[in-house]
Each structure stands twice: as C-alpha cells, then as structure tokens.
A and B are shown apart, each in its own frame.
Chain A
C-alpha cells in the first residue's frame, strides 16, 4: 500500500519541477534588474539599503568628531581583528605646570593630574579583513559605528582598503561643509570614491 502511495507522491512531486520551470521561464522574459555599472548607477534610495564597510558616526554637534569614547569594545569583540583603536594620551604637562605640581605635592596638597580625553587618537580599519558581521556595531556602547553606504568602493591594491576612519570622517565633514549641507552623504560614484 505504501509503495502505491509513494508512487503517487512522486508523481505529485514531479509537478513541482514544472512549477520551477514556469518560474524561471517567466523570469527569462522579464526585463533585467541590474544596472550597467560604469554607464549607469543605482538610485540613491537603493544605495541607502547597502551595508558597506564600517564607518564612524559623527557627534551630533561636531560632524568632524566621532561619538566614540575609546572604550575598545569594538576592538575586543571583532572576530577578524580588523579594527585598531589607539586611545588618546593625557596631554603632557609643560615644565611650568610640572613645577607647580611638584610644589603643590611638597606642600601636601592633593594634586590633580590631567586626565586623558575620552576620544580615540587613531581609529584604523582594515576592510580587506572585515567580514561585515556587525559585532563591532552591536557592541559599541555609544552607537559610534555604523555600516556605510559606500557602494562604489574599489581599489587596485590591498592598501586601498586600509582606512583611517577618523580622517575619513573629517574629510566627509569638510565635503559636507563645502556643499553647504545640501549633500551630506556621497550620492554619486565620484564623491564616494573621493570620500573613501
């Protein structure tokens, strides 16, 4: 009995093959959905859906500085080891200040040493190693990282994919200032390549 059932089931399954052929046959006749890249580029809205390399989120008030507090959570959590963050050092006291501090110490007062600022001095990123897993983005306590929409990112050597994200942010802020706020994000291929 089950053998007969099996045969019926197989014949039914066979039908799914024709459904598949119908689907691809229909697609064959429909217009293409890709663009011929160098001559055409994708629409800006489509570009916004692209999750490219990791980039820094600027402070709301100062677009040239990232929100980053240099906590190193992203570096610790990155499985590919492609992020390098160097914390900013405390500013070195000038000789006069040092003298004043020593004197104050001698007097038995509590000395207030200058603290290191809460920002990164260097933020390097190697896109060629990144697996775009998003772990760094999820683990950043202040939301200082995001995927960029840099869709036209090409290079001729591996070096092209080692990015200095701080410099990149500054450049972006400059470009945005030059365009006087009309085009804060790169929307054309040329701007994107300049930006990267």
Chain B
C-alpha cells in the first residue's frame, strides 16, 4: 500500500510546523527578555551562553522538570484538557500560513476564515482552565479572558474583512498576490486604519500587555493559570507565543505583502523578517505602556475600535462598488 502523496506532504508539513513552533517559542522567550532588558537599560539574560543565548532552553528544561500539580476538588479531565486544547490549534494555524510561493503547509481557499475560527479555540481553553481549577481567581481570570477575546475578535474580523473585500478572496496566497513587492503597493497604504485596528485587536486577542487583563498579576495573582504548574503552565505560555507569531504572520500577509520581495525574489526570507518586525513592535508596545483597567479595555474596544472598524468596512465596500 502506498501513501497518498498529499498525506505525505501533510505529515512532513506537520513535523516541520512542530519544530518551527518550538523554535519560535525559544527565540521569542529570549527576544522578549532581551527587549525588556534593553528598554530598561539592563542587559537582560546574560549568563547562560554568550549573551544568554541558551537561557530560554534552560528555562524550558526547568519548566518541563517541574512537578505537575492539580488542586483538590478540580475537574481532572477538563483541568488537563485545557492546556492541550490551548496548544493544539496553534499547529493547525501555522499549517495554513504561506511562507513562500511554494512553501505552504496546506493551501486552503478559506485560510483566513480557518485562522479566525480556530483562534477562537484559545478562548475555550482559557475558560476551561479557569473553570476547572476550582479557584476563584482562576474563574475570574477566565471570565475576563472570554469577555476580552470575544470583544476584540469583532474589530479584528472587521478589519480582515476589509482586506478580503479588496482582494475578493479569503485565500492567503491570493491576498499576497493581490499586493506588489514594494511597500507602496502593500495593503497597508490603502488600509492604514484597518492595519492599526488589526494590530490593536491582535494585542488584545493574544492577551499581551497593555491588554493582559486575564492574567493581571496585580489583581488576580495570575488569572486563569493560577493553579497550573510546570508544563501545564508551559503549554499556555507556548500557545501565547504561538498565537503571537500567527497574528503577526497574518498581519504580514494581509498588510505587508507577505512573502513578496522586489525583483522577483519572493520567499520566506522576506516573510520571516516582516513577521518578526511586527513581533518586535508588539514587544515594544508591551514594555512601553502600563496595563489598562478592564473598563478601559472594553471601552477602547466598544467605543472606538468597533465603530471605526465598521466605518472602515463600509467605506471600503463603497469604494469597491464605485470604482
């Protein structure tokens, strides 16, 4: 019996994606600590390896070696399912991203829709984690996570929809091809408002500062993952960084021309720097702004982002119809 070539392709893509997710997490943990250090004018990790290069690896090993604990009275199935549920969809999300003209794990016509749909999984995972922990702080954190993610998903969707209107497709490759290699041919120029809304919503969606309310250490002692130890917490952590890369990749595809480069030099060597530029920008935001309160968070979303995104979408639709 021979293996179907497409199945083989998928398996290889999955393995590479797994490795890529792991490497990304390591690099991002290191990068985040370094960026934080430099912004605060200290060196950041420095001792393990030259300039602390292998610090992230040691952190990972330490996390894996820690004992897994479960609070008494917690629901064991839901409790252990939550971190896994948070991590698993991340692989799927990475699979549909177009890294290059031929380098796509799985090209689907509805790639954008797939990402938006499965990104919602994370909310479910957070809710389960908080609910099953038998801990009031966990439950409060979960409630906040849901309120926040649901709220920020709407402007995110609307800004993505504006791009989909322009291209007339939900396929990542088609959207990439709809833009040119040079910066003035990117969607960013035609849709600056959508880009700003997308980035703000993405920061809200990935629970990063200044919108990291679900894990506000100052009020909730850590939010939905209060009770998780070792790799239970590690998986949430990995997923968070995974989602960060995913939203940055989506932003790069939608607004920065994806894998396109000048003089026909398309490929992942254009895609990855664009993604990491956005990741760095999100980190920069994190270490600049203080955390907002929950009221402010929801106000920003419902009073500003949502009306603006709606207006932007209507405007786009109008222009597409008229011209």
| A interface list, Cβ under 8 A from B | 10, 17, 20-21, 23-25, 27-34, 36
Contact = CB atoms under 8 A, between A and B. Distances in A.
Given A31-B41, A34-B42, 12 more contacts: A20-B288, A21-B284, A23-B288, A24-B288, A27-B39, A29-B38, A30-B41, A32-B38, A32-B42, A32-B43, A34-B43, A36-B43
B42 A28 contact: no
A5 to B, nearest CB: 15
B221 interface: no
13 contacts: A20-B288, A21-B284, A23-B288, A27-B39, A27-B41, A30-B41, A31-B41, A32-B37, A32-B38, A32-B41, A32-B43, A34-B41, A36-B43
Nearest to A26: B39
Contacts of A25: 284
A29 B38 CA distance: 7
Contact of A33 (B35, B41, B288, B289): B41
Contacts of A20: 288-289
Pairs A-B, 10 closest by C-beta atoms: A34-B42, A24-B288, A33-B41, A28-B38, A24-B39, A20-B288, A32-B41, A28-B39, A32-B43, A32-B42
Interface of B: 35, 37-43, 46, 284-285, 287-289, 304
Given A17-B289, A28-B35, A33 B284 contact: no
In the complex, which of the residues B41, B287, B289 has the most CB atoms of chain A within 10 Å of its own CB atom?
B41
Contacts of A30: 41
Nearest to B37: A32
B43 A27 contact: no
Nearest to A29: B38
B169 to A, nearest CB: 33
A30 B40 CA distance: 10
Contact of A24 (B37, B43, B287, B304): B287
In this complex, the member of B35, B39, B43, B285 whose beta carbon has the largest number of chain A beta carbons within 10 angstroms is B39
Nearest to B42: A34
B46 A27 contact: no
A37 to B, nearest CB: 10
Contacts of B40: 27
Contacts of A31: 41
Nearest to A34: B42
Contacts of B41: 27, 30-34
A36 B35 CA distance: 18
A10 B35 CA distance: 29
A25 B35 CA distance: 10
B38 A27 contact: yes
